[in-house]
Amino acid sequence: MRGGKGGGLLVAGTTSDAGKSVVTAGICRWLVRKGLKVAPFKGQNMSLNSFVTREGAEIGRAQAMQAQAARVEPTALMNPVLLKPGGDRSSQVVLMGKPVGELSAKGYHGGRQKELFEPVMACLEELRSTYDAVICEGAGSPAEINLRRTDIVNMGVARAAKLPAVVVGDIDRGGVFAQFFGTTALLSPEDQSLVAGYLVNKFRGDVSLLEPGLDMLYGLTGRRTFGVLPYAHGLGIDEEDGLRVSLRGTVRESVVAPPVGADVLRVAVCAVPLMSNFTDVDALAAEPGVVVRFVDRPEELVDADLVVVPGTRGTVKALAWLRERGLADALARRAAEGRPVLGICGGFQALGERIEDEVESKAGVVDGLGLLPVRVRFGVEKTLARPVGEALGERVEGYEIHHGVADVRGGEPFLDGCRVGAVWGTHWHGSLESDGFRRAFLREVAAAAGRRFVPAPDTSFGALREEQLDRLGDLIEEHADTDALLRLIEEGAPAGLPFVPPGAP
């Protein structure tokens, strides 16, 4: 490795959602299977899907997934800056796992972002001093020329750390050759000197039909393509951002396994504004016979056996949305009829009697839906925890990320929240990943819904996740030039890469 430091690579992308997160995870799993000690890194992440590390730091959920791919414990070093959108123009800034304030996009890019460059680079250097390789994920596109001056996640990091970069493009969307060429041609000569080549993602069909285009791309840019990754269905890997979830689609593209019992169980997830940690329902979607969909209309709750009100970065905004859409009345009817409802984190808060918020929305006192005897007061300090407990006779693990402090005034205890009839509420994210508890909960839901649904006795969410991560590693190992990638990671970008005009303006 170079200069006594671990090797490294920047996985950049032509666009958001090009596949940077999954490619980074796949490279991490491939390297760790080769016997290398590897860590993921993303200097700055913008996401509402986050996770709590064992030391109580909040990081992007994607980096926690990549750490699992690398078979290491996630830490704040792997995602030193996390931006959590609170609306169209502002985000909460989380630095080294702790919130440090709210900033507008203009305020962040106008000065604060430059201040964060030094701690971001310090984290990367610490990781490189500890690991054989650090695989860095970029954000958006490195060719966002309006933001290059304050960049702390793409070529700014690559330049400072002298890391080679590969650019990932999603060919399923079309236009990938123009994206590769244009991305390269909009970078400065110094940045271009680190862009070693490209990775095509989500290809369907015969690769031989693509090869003439790859040859022409090499002729135009002097850069090779390191692999063509096929479109892989049903990976089920954590999404970067819950804001982009399809309201009408299923959670995953994988085929729903047949039910063990006579009936399926239908789960409707209210797609509230600023939805966070919607990955909570992934464990339900993994169960044979459980069908999960995201909804935004009251009529879509009619045939649901369970309705989930998920986490949100804007509880008061979500409450208003539920009322405007008629979903609040539909939830009240369900509760009165004894039909199951589960609120998680912000969803739990919305199901309570009253919310006092001078922190998140600054709306003051707002009436909740009144389905649970809970009053919530928002505090300045954020709760970040990894609780362990018991519910329905089973051990449960979870994680908490919230400003709201719940005063539970009745009902049956349920994790840190409560239950009244068929309405449950808790602040614990990730609880449904505990297999025994998930099965017990689904049995309760089926009984309340009158369904002859039987949870599969052997579904292991942890094992399914490991299988998915191994599939990502297989994609890299089988469809990328791994020898060339390893040389990049160990030796850096090759010398003499040609300049592609016009370069950055």
Q: Which residues are catalytic?
A: 345, 429
- The three-state DSSP-derived secondary structure of 278-339 is HHHHHHHHCCCCEEEEEECCHHHHCCCCEEEECEECCHHHHHHHHHHCCHHHHHHHHHHCCC
Query: What's the distance, Cα to Cα, between the start and end of the chain in Å?
Result: 34
Q: Which residues of 12-46 are buried (b: 16+ CB within 10 A; e: fewer)?
A: bbbbeebbbbbbbbbbbbbbbeeebebbbbbbbbb
Phi-psi region of 430 (alpha: psi -120 to 50; beta: other; left: phi over 0): left
Nearest to 152 by CA among 187, 113, 183, 190: 113
Contact 41, 139 (CB under 8 A): no
Radius of gyration over every alpha carbon of the chain, rounded to an integer in angstroms = 23
Calculated CA dihedral for residues 50, 52, 53, 58, nearest 10 degrees: 60
Number of H helices, E strands in the chain: 15, 27
The answer to whether 354 and 367 have CB atoms below 8 angstroms apart is yes
User: At residue 181, what is the residue type?
Assistant: F
Most distant CA pair in the chain, distance: 71
